Every structure is written in structure tokens, then in C-alpha cells.
Amino acid sequence: MDLALLTPSVRGPGGLAHDSRSGVEALYSTGYWLLARDRVADAAKVFRVMLHASPRDERGWLGLGECHERSGQHHIALQLYGAGSVVAESGVRCLVARAQALRKVDLSEEADEALDQAERLAADRNDDDLVQLVVLARGTKKP
Amino acid sequence: MNAVAPVRQGPPAVPPPPPAVAPADAPVLPLPAPGSLPDDPLSFLYLFESRDRQLGVEDGSKKLIALQGERHAELRKEQDAIRQAVDAEQQHGFWDGLGDVFGQIAKVAAVVASVAAAVATAGAAAPLAAIAIGGAVLSSAALVDGELHVLQKLGVDAKTAGIVDMGMSIGGAVSSVGAGIAAGARATSAATTVLERGGAVVAGLGQVGKGVSTIEAGCAQARDDQAAADQIASRGRSEHLQRMILLLLDSTRGSDEQSGAIEKTIVSAKTIQNDTMAGVTSMKG
């Protein structure tokens, strides 16, 4: 498969040609499917390609970060979530993932700051689902 | 007959306490879109594995230098073409096409950032194209400089052009963050600082990409903004990046194929930008 086919087209009026978007969706679905079956190494390959194809799609960063977290590489996951929160069009989920990863390495204050930032972004976007995600993440804080 | 001593019955073993159940993380990965999963996801996966097997071993340093040289030459040609198109354009409508240019730049910046992330997570076991990716990251800085000069000659004020430059340098900043992996926890706080600044820049980049109404014609150069942009760009080309690339060259294999794919992406974005501006020129001329 030519990688260029997966690159979001810049010619369409909406910025994405149908074929490229469906390719990206197929990539994400495949990666998600592999993660659900604990095939972490395979899922990482797929999410890396997804990053090349659609770098502003937050899910690629989240997926690859999840792969590294499951491998115990929390610091690499933190780098990915941080980059995703900057590059992706909506960085709320990456900020939440980053907060949860920060807790795992005992950086609670930074985790709370990341959640505060996520809450502000979610409120700015008027996205109830994202706001609920932040609330849920706060509720899973370690005692 | 051997006498066997009876087994002493010790005190009943105390069962270990149940393992503490860590509170489950909030699910951040959204569900895939219905119907998007390929009919045979394993075949989809085999495609990627076969691509990995095609990667061969290359001479890293020479390839990297050659890639940089090619991209510099290519950029100069495109700058000339853009300058010619601008010279011919006299109508205000030209700026409408320029808005699309920023969109292309944002896309290239995003590609560079993703490439840097892929390098950081590749590891020794994944045969990604370290050479090509390193070259793409380095050449993005050259692309940034080229765009800046062009934009300023188009009459874009330096502050706006500086925002574009800083946005492009996110790729370099992210990749230098990746070099901090070996530094452990210290890398996290350093990354936070870089990426938080990058967050403000990307917000600005998004505003630029939304429309050209904020672009003001003029030739004044904001030295302070330019200095800040140069600072971030130079951080992206820091020694950390160089050392990371050399480490990856030692431990991973390179690929002409990956280099070509990434190069095509960047070149196609620039070509479309050039076509757009030339098209606007011919419509208005």
C-alpha cells in the first residue's frame, strides 16, 4: 500500500478526500482491534502508520501512547500524549491520557494541571462528552 | 520397611490479601466508527509487516546529507516560482489564496511532528527509516526559513510569519523531546515546558490558517518575534536531535522507500501551494 494514498488529500473542499479518510478510519479500527486482543506490538505498527497518514488526528497519538503504556514505557507515552495535545486538532483526550500517565509516575501535581487544562479546552469546545471524560478522570484519582 | 515420619501439620496458611485493584483509568480511546474495520484486519496488518521486511540497510550519514542537499535545492526552486507568481499578482484577491498556503504549512508541520514521534517510539526492534525521518525533520527547518522569507516578501508582517515559523519548529522541538527519553523523569518536565510553549504557538497557527483577514500587508520586520522564532528553531536543530539521529543510525535500519514517501508528502503539499498561487495569479491577471 502506497503511504501517499493514506496521506489526507489537500485537494478536496473539506481538506480530506473520501478514500484517504476511510483509510485512516480503517487504520484506527485495526489498531483498536489489535489492542483489544493485547497484540500491542502489532497495534503500535498500525498506529505509527496512522500518525504518518493523519498526524493531526488525536487517536493516533492516543493509540501509540497506550501501546507504550502497556509495555511499561510510561515516559515514552508521556512524550506522545504531550506531542498529541499540541499537534492534534483537539487535544483534550491526549491531556487526559497524559494526566493519567503522570499519576502512574507519581507526578500528581502535573497530572492535576493537565486535567485543569483539559477541562478548560473541553468547556471551550462545548463538548459534553469531553467534559464528562475529564470528570471521570478526576474521579479515578488514587486516594 | 522404611518408617516415614508423619508430616507435621503447621498452622493453617493465611491466604494472601487480594491484590489492590487500581482504579481503572478513564477510557480515552474513542470507539472506532461503525463499519470502518477492514473485513480482514489481519491482512491489513500483514501489509505493514511486509513493508517492514522490504527495508534495507543503507549508509546513514551519506544518505542524510544527500537528502538535505536535495531538499534545499528543491525549496529554492519553489521559492523562485512563488516569487514570480507574487510579482504578477496585483489584485487583493490574491490574499484569499494565501489562506490556503497557511493550511498547507500547518499540514506539513503536523507531518513533521508525527515523524518525530515515530522516531522517538521506534526503538531498536522497529526498522523505521531513521535516516529519511531525520532528514525530513532537519529539512523542515530549512522549509521554515524558506517560507519565512517568501512570506515577508509577500508583504506578510513578520509577527505572523514568525508564528508560522514557530509552528513549523514544533517538529524539531518534539523530536528533541524524544531524545530525552533516556534521561528519565527529567525529560518529562523539560518536555512540558517545550510543549506548553508549542501549544500556544499551534493555537496561533490555527488562527492564521483560518483566514487571511488577519494578514496585514507591509514590509516591517519584527526583530523580537524573529529572534524568538529563531530560538525555537535552533532548539529543534539542537545537538540532542543530532545525537538522537546518530544513535538511531547505529541501531536501526534506513529505507529509501520511507524517505521517498515522506518526501513526496512534503513536495506535494508545496506543489499544490504553488499551483494555487499560480492559479490565482492567472485568474486575476
A1 contacts in chain B (CB < 8 Å): 47, 51
A 32-91: CB under 8 A from B: 32-35, 42, 44-46, 48-49, 51-52, 55-56, 59-64, 66, 68, 75-76, 78-80, 82-87, 91
CB-based contact, B199 to chain A, within 8 Å = yes
User: Over chain A, what is the mean pLDDT?
Assistant: 81
Q: What is the dihedral of CA A57, A63, A65, A68, to 10 degrees?
A: -150
Q: What pLDDT was estimated at residue B241?
A: 46
**Ramachandran category for residue B35: left, alpha or beta (phi over 0 → left; psi -120 to 50 → alpha):** left
CB-based contact, B178 to chain A, within 8 Å = yes
Average pLDDT over residues A8-18: 35
B contact test, residue of A6, A66, A87 with most B CBs within 10 A: A87
Query: When comparing pLDDT for B28 and B47, which is higher?
Result: B28
Give the minimum alpha-carbon distance from B83 to chain A in angstroms, rounded to a whole number: 22
Cross-chain residue pair B36–A141, CB shorter than 8 Å? no
A55 contacts in chain B (CB < 8 Å): 110-111, 113-114
Q: Are B277 and B97 within 8 A, CB to CB?
A: yes
Average pLDDT over residues B100-129: 52
Query: Could you tell me which chain A residue has the CA closest to the CA of B109?
Result: A87
Task: Name the band, by pLDDT with cuts 50, 70 and 90, for residue A23.
Answer: confident
pLDDT at A21 over 60: yes
Give the minimum alpha-carbon distance from B114 to chain A in angstroms, rounded to a whole number: 5
Facing A86 at nearest CB: one of B30, B32, B199: B199
Q: Are A87 and B202 within 8 A, CB to CB?
A: yes
Please give the full DSSP string across B22-35, using - where no structure is assigned: PPPPP--SPPPPTT
Query: When comparing pLDDT for B74 and B260, which is higher?
Result: B74
Cross-chain residue pair A75–B268, CB shorter than 8 Å? no
**Ramachandran category for residue A139: left, alpha or beta (phi over 0 → left; psi -120 to 50 → alpha):** alpha
Cross-chain residue pair B195–A10, CB shorter than 8 Å? no
A contact test, residue of B121, B137, B272 with most A CBs within 10 A: B121
Query: When comparing pLDDT for B105 and B18, which is higher?
Result: B105
Strand partners, B194: none
Cross-chain residue pair A45–B107, CB shorter than 8 Å? no
CA gap B240, B175 in Å, rounded: 9
User: How many residues would you count in chain B?
Assistant: 285
Q: Are A6 and A32 within 8 A, CB to CB?
A: no
Task: Name the band, by pLDDT with cuts 50, 70 and 90, for residue A109.
Answer: very high
pLDDT at A134 over 70: yes
Q: What pLDDT was estimated at residue B113?
A: 57
Q: Are B164 and B150 within 8 A, CB to CB?
A: no
Q: Which stretches of chain A are DSSP H helices?
A: 3-6, 18-36, 40-53, 58-70, 74-87, 92-104, 108-124, 128-139
Cross-chain residue pair A25–B36, CB shorter than 8 Å? yes
CB-based contact, B184 to chain A, within 8 Å = yes
Query: When comparing pLDDT for B249 and A66, which is higher?
Result: A66
